[in-house]
Amino acid sequence: MIRDLHQKLINKEITSVQLTEQYFDVIEKNDAEIGAYLTLTKKLAMQQAQFVDEKIAKGEEIDLIEGIPCAIKDNICVDGVRTTAASKILDNYIAPYDATVIRKLKECGAVILGKTNLDEFAMGSSTENSAYKITKNPVDTSRVAGGSSGGSVASVAAGQAVWSLGTDTGGSIRQPASFCGVVGLKPTYGRVSRSGAIAMASSLDQIGPIAKRVEDVAIILSRISGQDLLDATSAKSSDKKYEDYLTGDISGKVIGVPKEYVESLEGEIKNIFEKSLEKFRTLGAKIETISLPHSEYALPTYYIIMTSEVSSNLAKFDGIKFGMRSDDNVDSDINENALPKKLLETYLDTRKIGFGDEVKRRIMLGTYALSAGYYDAYYLKAQKVRALIRRDFENAFKTVDFIYSPTAPEVAFKIGEKSADPLKMYLSDIFTITANLAGVPAISFPIGAIATDGKELPVGGQLMGKWFDEEGMLNCAHTYEINTKK
Amino acid sequence: MLSKEEILHIATLARIGVSEQDVEKYQHDLSEILDYFKKLDEVDVTGVEPIGHITGMQNTFRSDEHFDFGELGKEEIMKNVPEVKEGFIKVKSVL
């Protein structure tokens, strides 16, 4: 899709300004119902589009993504633009700099349409935890878009952006991509700089692209990856053009299917998954059953590490340095001290009012897990179990090239269906969190749909690759896609 | 089940204000999830090194010099501060 639009731009069949206006028209028409965007950046987008059009008019060469409209998850900073992370505590925050990924995209001439909705601070699996609104699934608006990158994914699925950026800590790009029927990529830990992304759990977070085609996410990855001084955890640049590795040939490749993931599958998802395995076989891949023996410990491991890191990362929201502050002249029910409030009361009140329930629950859990006397039993233990989970992957990758399963054990659920039960909600991430724990790249792409209430609810397949083998994994998903889609 | 005192202690460490109602809710929610965490007790981790950086990166260094960032500069950064006095961030009185 990006390639087609690029051709149209350089053939002067359409201008970037016209293209950008078309996308704003779609947003105008359907976003009241979908709720994908929190902020539109019309002025910025039109400036970027005009600049590209002038370059084309002058006969200058343009990049593949130049002049093509995209959407950015609202936990990634865009200079001069409100950036809320869908939290009231950042309601009035104007980012004073570009995230590294945004700087790179601007250098490539991408057109940024706006900032998209998410679960507050990316904590959730349904985008119901946003402090502003619920993003609905464009396929069936009575259902969730998934989360936490629900806005970024819905914007692509609803035709409100050609592609978008999300963040993925435990499945936040892949699970909504599966629910909305698009492609979502979580790169290897360290592949993409997180500087300027509002941190949730620093040992797990990655930024990644969402689009309708595998080739498109490959094109975007080539442009956002690379080492960055501002993110000390970022890995050495590869300078690969991932789109050049999409050969459409996977003959001889070995795909491992973890028995721990698929033995509990049932019904239509199981049928669709087995059909996709058959397809991979006819494309020349070899399917092998493998074991990831520590899989059952992944979810508690993930929730200990993630909440611990959350409690530390979110300590900076204190009502003093930036963001919201509780009203000095309104007494709260938590402290009997006289007004005006002193430092401690300002902290307590600001964080009580500014954060939503799920965010506070995770900060409390993480604070407990890191508190004196419990560190060894929780965080340290979890980081050791994580080492065993990584070892499972190392062993598996000795004999297979990719690991394959459904992205989620279910299709998009109804709005409100799980919001009362945090543990039940956490189980939505069961197949996706291991990629974050092990640090491997993973991609979700559509493999079928289940007819429910007159709607075709999408099902996603997830491929995980070896560390830093995005190109092989992307080619495998691409090969499946071009042999199944018209 | 975590006691009320434990919840109040954690809330103070976390700098999150809680009402009576909140305390009861946290007692229930946190205890349920902590029970779930106990599943890790089954795993033997004798001799296992904990994960530091998942792809095995060691320390990374940069030169010790400052550089400016952001086109908008200091003024725009300071616009996000709730209370400023003479160009400084004003911190509330501690005692």
Note whether A79 contacts B62, CB cutoff 8 Å: no
How is residue A73 written in tokens?
């998850």
- Say which of A126, A152, A172, A225 is annotated catalytic: A172
Bond into A148 cis (ω within 30): yes
pLDDT for A201: 97
Of all residues in chain B, the one with the smallest CA distance to A190 is B55
| Helix and strand numbers, DSSP H then E, in chain A | 16, 13
Partners of A231 in the β-ladder: A228
**Is A350 within a domain?**
no
What is the ipTM, given to two decimal places?
0.94
Among B16, B33, B70, select the one facing A352 at the smallest CB separation: B16
Please list every residue in chain A whose beta carbon sits closer than 8 Å to the beta carbon of residue B13: 367, 371
Q: Hey, what amino acid is at A109?
A: G
Alpha helices in A35-138 (DSSP H): 42-57, 100-108
- Strand A442-452 relative to strand A286-290: parallel, antiparallel, unpaired? unpaired
pLDDT for A318: 94
pLDDT for A156: 98
Asked whether A369 and A378 are in contact (CB, 8 A), the reply is yes
**Is A322 within a domain?**
no
Length of chain B: 95
CA distance A482 to chain B (A): 32
Number of domains in chain A: 1
Of all residues in chain A, the one with the smallest CA distance to B31 is A365
Q: Where are the domains of chain B?
A: 4-42
What is the pLDDT tens value at each position of chain B, 95 positions in all?
Answer: 899 999 999 999 999 999 999 999 999 999 999 999 999 999 999 999 999 889 888 888 888 888 766 556 788 888 999 999 988 999 988 88
**Is A328 within a domain?**
no
Q: Which of A204, A367, A389, A427 to mutate to test the interface with B (most CBs of B within 10 A)?
A: A367
pLDDT for A339: 67
Residue A290's CATH number: 3.90.1300.10
CA distance A361 to chain B (A): 7
pTM, two decimal places: 0.96
Cβ density class A373-397: b for 16+ within 10 Å, e for less: eeeeebbebbbbbbbbbbebbeebb
Tell me the pLDDT tens digit for each residue of B34-50.
999 999 999 999 999 99
Residues 6+ apart with CB under 8 A from A57: none
What does DSSP assign to residue A20?
Answer: H
Asked whether A176 and A150 are in contact (CB, 8 A), the reply is yes
- The correct CATH number of B4-42 out of 1.10.20.60, 3.90.650.10, 3.40.50.300, 3.40.50.1980 is 1.10.20.60
CA distance B19 to chain A (A): 6
pLDDT for A420: 76
Of all residues in chain B, the one with the smallest CA distance to A232 is B60
Domain carrying residue A134: 1-317+355-486
Residue A444 a catalytic site member: no
How is residue A24 written in tokens?
């704003």
Residue A148 a catalytic site member: yes
What is the pLDDT tens value at each position of chain A, 486 positions in all?
Answer: 999 999 999 999 999 999 999 999 999 999 999 999 999 999 999 999 999 999 999 999 999 999 999 999 999 999 999 999 999 999 999 999 999 999 999 999 999 999 999 999 999 999 999 999 999 999 999 999 999 999 999 999 999 999 999 999 999 999 999 999 999 999 999 999 999 999 999 999 999 999 999 999 999 999 999 999 899 999 998 889 999 999 999 999 999 999 999 998 889 999 999 999 999 999 999 999 999 999 999 999 999 999 999 999 999 999 999 999 988 777 666 555 566 788 998 999 999 999 999 999 999 999 999 998 999 999 999 999 999 999 999 999 999 999 999 999 999 999 999 877 777 777 778 899 999 999 999 999 999 999 999 999 999 999 999 999 999 999 999 999 999 976
Which of A80, A41, A115 lies closest to B72, judged by CA?
A80
Among B40, B76, B77, select the one facing A300 at the smallest CB separation: B40
Note whether A384 contacts B48, CB cutoff 8 Å: yes
**Is A82 within a domain?**
yes
pLDDT for A191: 97
Which of A431, A474, A46, A462 lies closest to A225, judged by CA?
A474
Please list every residue in chain B whose beta carbon sits closer than 8 Å to the beta carbon of residue A302: none
